[in-house]
Amino acid sequence: MDKRLLDILVCPICKGPLHYDKAADELICRGDRLAFPIRDGIPVMLEEEARALAPEEEVSRA
């Protein structure tokens, strides 16, 4: 994921910062506990495409 792109992208719901999960190839919003997929190198920033993180799922601080 391009660092410059990550710096300008925000959560479409709360406008908070997103964190890149390289292993899952997702952008994570810690505040809303949502994971937005990245398909073919393009972030899919649609609420209906986001995956809700399970309560027990660890949200990485990296």
Q: What is the pLDDT of residues 20-41, one digit of tens each?
A: 999 999 999 999 999 999 999 8
> Measured on CA atoms in the order 45, 27, 16, 48, is the torsion positive or negative?
positive
Domain coordinates in residue numbering, the chain = 3-52
Tell me the three state secondary structure of residue 5: helix
- The percentage of the chain sitting over the pLDDT mark of 70, rounded to a whole number, equals 90
Residue 4 has pLDDT above 70, yes or no: yes
Q: How far apart are CA 49 and CA 61, in angstroms?
A: 23
Mean pLDDT for the chain overall: 89
* pLDDT value of position 57: 79
Q: How far apart are CA 31 and CA 23, in angstroms?
A: 20
Q: What is the mean pLDDT of residues 46-59?
A: 88
What torsion, rounded to 10 degrees, do the Cα atoms 30, 16, 19, 2 define? 170
Class of domain 3-52: mainly beta
